[in-house]
Chain A
Amino acid sequence: PCLQKKILDYFNGD
């Protein structure tokens, strides 16, 4: 079982 990470877990809004 793998959890799909989200882009927002790594990059933040300016």
Chain B
Amino acid sequence: MFELRLEQGSLLKKVMEAIKDLVNDANFDCSATGFSMQAMDSSHVALVALLLRSEGFEHYRCDRNISMGINLANMAKILKCAGNDDIVTVKADDGTDSVTFMFESPTQDKISDFELKLMDIDSEHLGIPEAEYDAIVRMPSAEFARICKDLSSIGDTVVISVTKEGVKFSTRGDIGTANIVCRQNTSVDKPEEATIIEMKEMVSLTFALRYMNSFAKATPLASQVTISLSSDLPVVVEYKIAEMGYIRFYLAPKIEE
């Protein structure tokens, strides 16, 4: 039997909103460690990895490891029915082909349950090697979302360059070009407004803005985003989820032919 209870149910709603447009179907793996998911988008250009550690839930029981194949659009439909303040319980019995979502209002005066059919999904689990990155940028997630949105009105791709001057986001399109430079800024009153750049090597990589805008849907989950870049690796765009875990988006770069 598998059962988890999360008082802050809005968190699961935000997770689904962040990934439902990127991935169609995914296997959610439930183990003693926690609730996790790894899936690629249909073009195999981006990969999303989610981890919600068991300690982060108010209640977590997993008698044996199970993998639940779920259509994310359908799961998002169900989670949309939960109130923002609702307590969410997810439950699956061994050997059944469905998972139950229960929503309780904070005052316990409304209790709903939804049963979602599980699917058989043949998905490949990729090994993501530990890597040292040439540059790691931490910045306000809302600022990153704004930059990706603004640049996508000019061009289709973004060049992210990290130098000792800061991090530069550039694009070009039919109407012209755009460059946005963010400098390191640690002298802010609130740590969530800081921009911190750790650079070992200068790095410059090109990515499709369409995917960056999709990743930015995770902005409500975290006030800061971490962008890790290396010249020979996919970029990692990470949003930490409270004290529970993370959602990481990996995106393969575009390279000169």
Interface contact B127-A4, CB-CB below 8 Å: no
Nearest Cβ on chain A to B179's Cβ, whole angstroms: 18
Task: Provide the A1-14 mask, 1 if CB < 8 A to any CB of B, else 0.
Answer: 11111111111111
Decide yes or no: A2 and B206 within 8 Å by CB, A13-B127, A14-B126 being known contacts.
Answer: yes
CA distance A5 to B206 in the complex (A): 11
CA distance A12 to B47 in the complex (A): 12
Decide yes or no: A10 and B234 within 8 Å by CB, A2-B255, A2-B257, A5-B255 being known contacts.
Answer: yes
Interface contact A4-B234, CB-CB below 8 Å: no
Task: Check if B176 is an interface residue, CB within 8 A of chain A.
Answer: no
Interface contact A7-B257, CB-CB below 8 Å: no
B211 nearest CB neighbor, chain A only: A4
* Residues on B with beta carbons closer than 8 Å to the beta carbon of A2: 157, 206, 254-257
Decide yes or no: A6 and B45 within 8 Å by CB, A11-B126, A11-B129, A14-B125 being known contacts.
Answer: yes
Count B interface residues, CB 8 Å: 24
B157 nearest CB neighbor, chain A only: A2
Decide yes or no: A3 and B126 within 8 Å by CB, A10-B233, A10-B234, A11-B47 being known contacts.
Answer: no
- Which of A2, A7, A13 has the largest number of chain B CB atoms within 10 A? A7
* Residues on B with beta carbons closer than 8 Å to the beta carbon of A9: 252
Query: Which of B46, B206, B208, B255 is within 8 Å of A7, CB to CB?
Result: B46
Query: Which of A5, A11, A14 is within 8 Å of B254, CB to CB?
Result: A5
- Which of A6, A9, A10 has the largest number of chain B CB atoms within 10 A? A10
20 contacts between A and B (CB under 8 A): A2-B157, A2-B206, A3-B254, A3-B257, A4-B45, A4-B252, A5-B45, A5-B234, A5-B255, A7-B45, A7-B46, A7-B234, A7-B250, A10-B233, A11-B126, A11-B127, A11-B250, A13-B124, A13-B126, A14-B127
Chain A interface (Cβ within 8 Å of chain B)?
Answer: 1-14
Which 5 residue pairs across A and B have the least CB separation, nearest first? A2-B254, A5-B252, A11-B126, A13-B124, A6-B44
